């Protein structure tokens, strides 16, 4: 019996009311002001073995372009005027994070082997000389960003490190932001103060940094707030909650924090001279896969459940009705939606998965 594939990742356009929802080998787009579908699932789509082609998605600064990458090992750039493919390039390895430079002439792609490549924003040519990485980690890169002034590329890894490197000469390391006690899963620049980096991960904390100096400014420990909403543990890697997504609302200076396989979103409010303060917990009807605020400050969530999308604060779920009734990918076998737990190193990975990582990445804690 075939199952509907959830939307594994969602990302909102920075200038238009448009939400992109990843769905296997395709993506859908909806208007977050009206709930109307802008780009539907293709009627002629035929999939035997579904995989995640849109593990990473990122808009450029003005929202005119969308970069995507995933299991297809391709970096693709789409024109958001008509959602046509502008060009694609080989990514060499599976990409975990992607970003445009400030004038959209270059793309950075961070892969599972710990490398960050700088691609020209143009069609790849078969037989073209392979690029050399500008940043290299001995551990898997989990997230990556380029600061808005194109001065620094910031990377996080599986070994609890955050590195701030100069761009484009990544061998010049500006600082390290050290302090997390488990894998770092998310990093982002604070939208209303770009001197501050926000990070989160498997230790259940959100941390603020003066990232150029590598100095910690605040630690918000959320373990007690999420304790009641943790999913049942399947193994040692999933005994503790792990932060899977961050979303900022610049209108109210609010941070939403989602946890893997949990229906709870924790809301943190910004207080000047203090930082983030826990405010409340919002609950979705089923586990949350990703979150995003729209331009009006409504929090959207993609779900692993009967309903695929939930809009917090919309009691009748009017905005989500069309997308929840829409045609999406169906498959007899759905890939693992919670590989994030495997980033922890308490257990040995299956041999097939371990072989995909570098030799230096095969050591495991054995508590």
What digits encode the pLDDT tens for the residues 309-326? 999 999 999 999 999 999
Which whole-number Å values give the CA distances from 255 to 157, 202, 251, 270, in the listed order? 22, 17, 11, 8
Q: Express each pLDDT in 174-217 by its tens digit.
A: 999 999 999 999 999 999 999 999 999 999 999 999 999 999 99
Statement: residue 149 has pLDDT above 50: yes
Q: Are 202 and 183 in contact (CB under 8 A)?
A: yes
Residue 233 has a CB neighbour count (10 Å cut-off) of 11
Q: Which of 338, 52, 99, 10 is nearest to 202 (CA)?
A: 338
Q: Express each pLDDT in 95-125 by its tens digit.
A: 999 999 999 999 999 998 999 999 999 999 8
Instruction: Give the mean model confidence (pLDDT) for residues 345-358.
Output: 48
pLDDT score for 347:
58
Global pTM exceeds 0.85: yes
Instruction: Give the mean model confidence (pLDDT) for residues 51-74.
Output: 96
- For tokens 């899963």, the residue is 185
Lowest-confidence pick of 158-167, 276-285, 329-338:
329-338
Q: Which of 59, 96, 248, 116 is nearest to 183 (CA)?
A: 96
Quote the CA–CA distance of 327 and 315 in Å, as a whole number.
23
Quote the CA–CA distance of 301 and 323 in Å, as a whole number.
12
32: left (phi over 0), alpha (psi -120 to 50) or beta: alpha
Q: Are 19 and 34 in contact (CB under 8 A)?
A: no
Q: What is the DSSP code (8-state) at residue 122?
A: S
Statement: residue 357 has pLDDT above 50: no
- Return the H-helix or E-strand segment holding 324: helix 321-325
Quote the CA–CA distance of 278 and 147 in Å, as a whole number.
27
Statement: residue 356 has pLDDT above 60: no
Quote the CA–CA distance of 52 and 335 in Å, as a whole number.
8
- Return the H-helix or E-strand segment holding 136: strand 135-136
Q: Which of 279, 284, 288 is nearest to 249 (CA)?
A: 279
Quote the CA–CA distance of 305 and 6 in Å, as a whole number.
8
Average pLDDT score, the chain = 92
Which whole-number Å values give the CA distances from 117 to 32, 135, 141, 153, 327, in the listed order? 33, 7, 12, 11, 36
Q: Which of 359, 364, 365 is nearest to 114 (CA)?
A: 359
Q: Which of 213, 178, 182 is nearest to 195 (CA)?
A: 213
Question: Which SS3 state, helix, strand or coil, does residue 304 take?
Answer: coil
Task: Render the burial of 294-317: b for 16+ CB within 10 Å, e for the rest.
Answer: bbeebbbbbbbeebbbbbbeeeee
pLDDT above 70: percentage of residues in the chain: 93
Q: Is the dihedral of CA 209, 60, 158, 267 positive or negative?
A: positive
Statement: residue 359 has pLDDT above 70: no
Which whole-number Å values give the CA distances from 47 to 40, 57, 73, 75, 85, in the listed order? 16, 21, 17, 21, 20
Quote the CA–CA distance of 211 and 189 in Å, as a whole number.
9
pLDDT score for 131:
92
Q: Express each pLDDT in 285-303 by its tens digit.
A: 999 999 999 999 999 999 9
Q: Which two tokens stand for residue 365?
A: 């804690």
Statement: residue 364 has pLDDT above 70: no
């Amino acid at each position: 019996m075939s199952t509907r594939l959830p939307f594994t990742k969602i990302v909102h356009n920075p200038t238009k009311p448009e939400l992109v929802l990843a769905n296997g080998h395709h993506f859908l787009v909806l208007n977050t002001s009206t709930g109307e579908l802008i780009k539907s699932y293709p009627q002629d789509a035929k999939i035997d073995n579904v995989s995640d082609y849109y593990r990473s998605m990122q808009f450029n600064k003005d929202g005119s372009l969308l970069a995507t990458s995933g299991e297809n090992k391709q970096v693709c750039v789409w024109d958001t005027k008509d959602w046509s493919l502008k060009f694609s390039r080989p990514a060499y390895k599976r990409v975990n994070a992607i970003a445009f430079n400030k004038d959209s002439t270059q793309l950075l792609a961070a892969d599972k082997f710990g490398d960050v490549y700088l691609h020209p924003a143009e069609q790849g040519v078969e037989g073209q000389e392979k690029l050399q990485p500008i940043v290299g980690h001995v551990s898997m890169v989990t997230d990556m960003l380029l600061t808005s002034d194109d001065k620094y590329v910031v990377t996080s890894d599986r070994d609890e490190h955050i590195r701030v490197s100069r761009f484009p000469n990544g061998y010049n390391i500006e600082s390290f932001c050290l302090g997390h006690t488990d894998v770092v899963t998310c990093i982002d620049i604070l939208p209303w103060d770009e001197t501050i980096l926000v990070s989160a991960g498997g230790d259940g904390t959100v941390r603020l940094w003066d990232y150029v100096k590598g100095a910690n400014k605040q630690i918000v420990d959320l373990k007690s707030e999420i304790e009641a909403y943790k999913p049942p543990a399947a193994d040692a890697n999933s005994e503790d909650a792990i932060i899977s997504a961050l979303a900022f609302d610049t209108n109210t200076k609010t941070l939403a924090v989602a946890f893997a396989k949990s229906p709870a979103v924790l809301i943190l409010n910004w207080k000047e001279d203090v930082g983030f303060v826990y405010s409340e917990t919002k609950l979705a009807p089923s586990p949350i896969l990703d979150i995003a605020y729209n331009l009006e400050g409504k929090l959207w969530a993609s779900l692993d459940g009967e309903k695929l999308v939930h809009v917090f604060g919309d009691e009748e779920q009017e905005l989500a009705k069309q997308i929840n009734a829409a045609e999406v990918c169906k498959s007899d076998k759905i890939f693992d939606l919670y590989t994030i737990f495997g980033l922890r190193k308490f257990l040995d990975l299956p041999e097939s998965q371990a072989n995909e990582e570098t030799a230096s990445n095969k050591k495991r804690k054995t508590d």
